[in-house]
Amino acid sequence: MNVPAWFARTVFRAQEAAMHRPTFAVLAELERTQWLSREGIEACQSQRLNRLLASALAHSPWHADRLRAAGLDEAARAGAVTLADLPRLPTMNKRDARDNVEQLVWRGVPGGVFQYTTGGSSGEPLIFYFGRARQAADAAGRLRARRWWGVEPGEREVYLWGAPVELSRTDRIKTLRDRLVNQLLLNAFEMSPARMDDYLVAVQAWNPKAIYGYASSLALFAAHAEARGFRPKLPALRVVSTTGEPLFPHQRELIERVFGVPVSVEYGARDAGLMALQSPDGALLQMSETHLIEVLDDAGNPVEEGEAVITSLVSEAQPFIRYRTGDVIRRSDRPDPGGRGLAVLDSVVGRQTDFVVAADGRIMHALAVIYVLRAIPGVGQFKLIQHAVDRMEVQVVPDVRWSEGAREAVIQGLRARLGPTLNIELKLLDAIAPEASGKHRYVVSHVPLGGALAQAVS
């Protein structure tokens, strides 16, 4: 299907309008505000913070109690809370968001609320709600960043992303919609060598301007191409964007070598939203108009490298205010080399997923099995260890909803992904210990990928 960029852009605009998402209006505003001075950006942040706090005070009882306890309720009503006042509120974490969801969500938010589940790569899945403002902000932020690289809305893109194993009628309709807006989706959960051979042919035929996907999946794909001696001919390609996990230097070098264009890192999370994107100058630019990001140690003190604690200024549907993400980042005080007023992050240090291998040789991004665990009521925290293609250890910290039905759902869900003969050892624990290094990894595979593919994820 050959769709001109102008037509794809028109379809995309129509889709966003039909869904009542103000994506293109937000994009126009982001294009303007990125050139404000740092002081101008902070004034914008202060205004949006006060709007968020007033909404939380009126519609989120859990936050309202915290605002009153911190003595900020009157200032929030008056729109007089400053950025310097924000640390007076205690931080919140995933357990707070999960256990108090009905005291957090504003179901009457304009445009409605939509349920979502985090990917669970932190080992602690979360069901939460977001609204149209958050959807539009994420989409517009990504579109703005694409323009930094010379990619306009409606121009061809490839997504190496999670997709259902079997396509339903709805999924087929979505595939047609993707083609109409010039997006080609390749399934990151199905990356056998034969499938990746097909992907290489499809990408070259599509000749996209941008490729987007999980960092480790793109590295695996690049390693496969190099092992095959296949150098894609992609004259239109401008950038490969990675997301979902840290991109290691050897992975960046591999992807750039194979695809012949720079790699841009994106930092975001399903609960926290899109937080930073890398520009052609190499700066990891914060979405300053939509997020306040603090870098704190365990005691809550500001540090150069520590946990990312975010306040999403577009989270009125379920406010995330001083929210501990579990990610480790390093801040930077340097300005954007491109002259924008957006804050700069030095790097994202934390978060890593892995690959798992099915008995029939299919290679899957770890999110393929994470998605199974995250959706089962009763799973508070988890860790998956693949000892062999037919043997997996599943560690679960259960919550009050755990039952024999949940146990059976874990077993059947994993066998549906990895094969019916999978031997599963399920352990119920009070806590899940970190690795010997002190890091937390929630999907660990001891099954070697072999050859050049192992270099992509080691």
> Would you give the distance in Å from CA 189 to the centre of its chain?
16
Supply φ then ψ for residue 391, to 5 degrees: -145, 125
CA neighbor of 325 nearest in space, from 122, 142, 159, 185? 122
Q: At residue 166, does pLDDT exceed 50?
A: no
pLDDT tens digits along 212-270:
998 888 988 998 999 899 999 999 999 999 998 888 888 899 999 999 999 999 999 88
Instruction: Please check whether the domain covering 355-457 is classified as CATH 3.30.300.30.
Output: yes
* Confidence (pLDDT) at 165: 45
Q: Can you tell me the distance from the alpha carbon of 304 to that of 199, in angstroms, rounded to the nearest whole number?
A: 41
Selection from 292, 300, 321, 397 nearest residue 104 by Cα: 321
Query: pLDDT per residue over 353-372, tens digit each?
Result: 568 888 888 888 787 898 89
Mean pLDDT computed over 415-438: 84
* Cα-Cα-Cα-Cα dihedral sign, residues 36, 39, 40, 43: positive
Q: Residues, the chain, total?
A: 458
CA–CA distance, 197 with 216 (Å, rounded to integer):
17
Specify the pLDDT at position 352.
46
pLDDT at 91 over 80: yes
Please answer whether residues 323 and 412 qualify as being in contact, where contact means their C-beta atoms are separated by less than 8 angstroms: no
DSSP H stretches of helix in 208-319: 215-228, 249-259
Token digits of residue 295: 């870098």
Q: From the centroid of its chain, how far is CA 392?
A: 26
Cα–Cα distance measured from residue 68 to residue 54, given in angstroms and rounded to the nearest whole number: 12
Quote the pLDDT of residue 216: 83
Are 108 and 79 in contact by the 8 Å Cβ rule? The answer is no
- CB contact at 8 A, 276 and 284: yes
pLDDT band with cut points at 50, 70 and 90 for residue 171: low
Q: Are 9 and 146 in contact (CB under 8 A)?
A: no
Percent of all residues in the chain with a pLDDT value above 70, rounded to a whole number: 91
Lowest model confidence (mean pLDDT) among 44-48, 249-253, 421-425: 249-253
- Report the range of poorest mean pLDDT among 44-58, 322-336, 367-381: 367-381
Asked if pLDDT for residue 96 goes beyond 70, the answer is yes
Q: CA 441, CA 458: separation in Å to the nearest integer?
A: 14
**Does the pLDDT at position 100 exceed 80?**
yes
Burial of 448 from C-beta contacts in 10 A (0-12 / 13-18 / 19+) = exposed
Distances 80 to 51, 69, 165, 347 between C-alpha atoms, Å: 10, 17, 51, 33
Q: Which residues pair with 92 in a beta bridge?
A: 323
Tell whether the torsion through CA atoms of 15, 28, 244 and 60 is positive or negative: negative
